[in-house]
Structures are given as C-alpha cells and as structure tokens.
C-alpha cells in the first residue's frame, strides 16, 4: 500500500490533501507543529469522510527545526510538501518568510532523498510565477517566474526563492528523487473544520460587511478540492516529473465580481457584500495608511491572468466552475459561524 507524507496537515490545503489521499486508498502520514492538534484534525476528517484510523498517522515536525524530518519521511513513497511558513501579520523583513521557506523546502527534500522517496510534489504558488512583471495582456504560464529583484511583497519572494532552491537541489543533489510543483492562484472552497485560513478572509469580510468597496484588480481563483486533486495527479503521473503546473479555474476574476456572485447565489445572506469598485487613484491613496492595500499596490488596476492548459493537457485535470466554489466557500463559512 502506498504511503504518502503530507506536510502541514492541519492547514487549509494540507487537510484537503490528506482527505483526498485517504479517499483514494492511500496510507497517510502528516506533520503538525503542535501535536495537540491531532484530535482536532482527526475529528474534521471523520466528519467529512470514512477511513480506518490506522491509515492516518500524525507526527510532529517543524520546517524551522531539523528534528523529526528523518522519521517523518521514513518508509514513504511520495511527499506532498504543502506546509510553508506563514505570518498572520505583515513581516518586518523578508528574512521572516524567505529563510524559513527556503530552508524548510531543503530539509524536506534532503530527508526525502535520503529515505528513497520517489517524488516530492511542492506546493508553490502563482506568487512564484506572475509577480513583479510589467502589465501584459497574455496570461501567465509555467514558463514565467516572479521577478525577485522587483519591489514585491515578502510572501511572493519567499515562494519564488524556495522553489528556485528546490529545483537547484534536484539538479545538483537530488539523485533519483523527482520533483513536481503546483502553483495555485487564490485558493477558495469549503472548510473541513472551523479554521480561519487567510485565503478565505476576503469572502468572510464581504459577508460581514467589512469591505465597503472592492480593491480595483483581478486575479485567478481556484477550489481547494481541485488543488488537492492536482497534487495527487502530479504525485503519480509519469508526465508530471520535473514540471510546474498552474491551477486556476477559468480566467481572472475582478474582486467586485466575487461580491456580485455572493449576492446572486446567497441572496439576503450576502446583502452586506460590496457593490462597487474603488477607483485606482483612491485605492493607491488609501494604501498609504492601509497595509493590506499597500501590499496590493502592484496589482491595482490590473488583471493577473493565468492558464491551466498544461495541467489539463498533461494530467487531465479540470477545475469546477468558480461560481460554485464561491458559493460553497460562503456556505461553509456561515456553517462554521464565520462571516456573519
């Protein structure tokens, strides 16, 4: 029976990857930084699907610490490296994200190589593909890389440098270990448990009436369940070795369109969602005092589009309609007492 390690099993995407693997019949080991969260994770998964408890093992390992990784990968055929250091608040310096992300990836890859793992699937991000570039009309593809020499936020810089380090490691020290990378755009979708992932906060704030007007930009979005599915395809398909895969549902979506979809699908329950988009000049002016708008300064007035044609053609992957994902996101938030 195939054994798969998932790093960061209590995270939004990590927990869905664990569920997808269990549903597919794999034996799963997952890492957490806090062992006390194991009962919580098991309860989420048992509420969502049926599996024997002996097919899921939870171990402690921290990307910022060397201990535990040799034991975590031992006996595993594949690794889904989903975890990445994330700060809830804007970091003061790049090093707070860049160094842990890069060193964490290398820790996992070294341990996987030494344990004879067949392939690691790295969860990267659109942030490692399409940030720091001049405006363009063509969608971004896997051939593109974020410009780390541009004035970009630390999170996008960390994802780019961590992935660069991963590919260099495979080339120079990887031995027989294979690598594939998945690059989701903005990840939405239902929760497995009452968590508060950063990627759902825009929808949550819209439902709560805390977004009086939408920031003027567009980007891609994709369902967390489809991203998990792409990880499993990239894990075993021979065509995925050595490849990068963008994950987007259709095309870029303006933020104001998300608000419209919420109102159309949820009616009165989304009555607080905004109806207008800020002018670009006003968004830039407000960004002087608003740190979240300031982080978006390079996106204001733009539509950052991407294409998943490669994943569709090579791996047969398909994303569900983003309108359904947005509705499912909102319904899940409300069910868990969030967004009211």
Q: Any idea where the domains of the chain sit in the sequence?
A: 3-197+219-252+305-321
Spatial CA neighbour of 225 closest among 313, 319, 323? 319
159: annotated active-site residue: yes
**pLDDT the model gives residue 153:** 85
Q: Is 197 exposed, middle or buried (0-12, 13-18, 19+ CB in 10 A)?
A: middle
Q: Exactly one of 159, 171, 310, 340 is catalytic; name it.
A: 159
Burial class from Cβ neighbours inside 10 Å (0-12, 13-18, 19+) for residue 1 reads exposed
State how beta strands 253-254 and 218-219 pair.
antiparallel
pTM of the complete model = 0.96
What integer best gives the mean pLDDT of the chain? 93
Q: According to the model, what pLDDT value does residue 254 have?
A: 97
Strands 186-188 and 253-254, bridge-based pairing: unpaired
What are the structure tokens assigned to 115, written together?
């344990």
Residue 277: Cβ within 10 Å count: 17
CA angle, residues 180, 10, 231, in degrees to nearest 5: 20
The pLDDT of residue 88: 47
Q: What is the third-level CATH fold of 3-197+219-252+305-321?
A: Rossmann fold (3.40.50)
Three-state secondary-structure class, residue 230: helix
Comparing 52-66, 234-248, 295-309, which segment has the lowest mean pLDDT? 295-309
Q: What is the pLDDT of residues 7-22, one digit of tens each?
A: 999 999 999 999 999 9
The 10s digit of each residue's pLDDT in 81-122 is 999 876 544 544 667 788 888 999 999 999 999 999 999 999
Q: Can you tell me which residue has the tokens 């891609």?
A: 220
Q: Give per-residue pLDDT as tens, 243-278.
A: 999 999 999 999 999 999 999 999 999 999 999 999
d(CA 107, CA 263): 45
Q: 218 forms bridges with which residues in the sheet?
A: 254, 303
């Amino acid at each position: 029976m195939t054994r798969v390690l998932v790093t960061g099993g209590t995270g939004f995407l990590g927990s869905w990857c664990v569920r997808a693997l269990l549903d597919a019949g794999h034996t799963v080991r997952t890492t957490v930084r806090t062992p006390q969260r194991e009962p919580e994770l098991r309860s989420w998964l048992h509420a969502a699907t049926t599996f024997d408890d002996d097919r899921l093992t939870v171990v402690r390992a921290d990307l910022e610490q060397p201990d535990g990784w040799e034991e975590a990968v031992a006996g595993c055929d594949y690794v889904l490296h989903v975890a990445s250091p994330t700060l809830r608040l804007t970091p003061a310096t790049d090093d707070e994200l860049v160094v842990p992300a890069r060193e964490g990836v290398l820790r996992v890859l070294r341990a996987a190589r030494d344990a004879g793992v067949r392939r690691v699937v790295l969860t990267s991000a659109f942030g490692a593909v399409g940030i720091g570039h001049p405006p363009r009309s063509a969608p971004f593809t896997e051939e593109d890389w974020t410009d780390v020499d541009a004035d970009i936020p630390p999170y996008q810089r960390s994802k780019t440098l961590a992935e660069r380090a991963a590919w260099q490691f495979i080339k120079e020290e990887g031995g027989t270990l294979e690598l594939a990378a998945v690059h989701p755009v903005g990840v939405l979708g239902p929760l497995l448990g009452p968590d508060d992932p950063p990627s759902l906060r825009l929808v949550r704030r819209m439902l709560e009436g805390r977004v009086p007007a939408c920031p003027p930009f567009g980007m891609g979005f994709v369902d967390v369940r489809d991203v998990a599915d792409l990880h499993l395809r990239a894990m075993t398909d021979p065509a995925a070795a050595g490849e990068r895969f963008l994950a987007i549902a259709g095309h870029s979506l303006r933020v104001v369109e998300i608000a419209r979809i919420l109102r159309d699908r949820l009616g009165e329950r989304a009555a607080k969602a905004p109806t207008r988009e800020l002018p670009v000049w006003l968004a830039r002016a407000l960004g002087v005092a608003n740190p979240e708008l300031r982080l978006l300064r390079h996106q204001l007035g733009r539509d950052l589009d991407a294409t998943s044609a490669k994943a569709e053609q090579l791996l047969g992957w398909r994303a569900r309609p983003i309108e359904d994902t947005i509705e499912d996101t909102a319904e899940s938030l409300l069910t868990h007492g969030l967004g009211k």
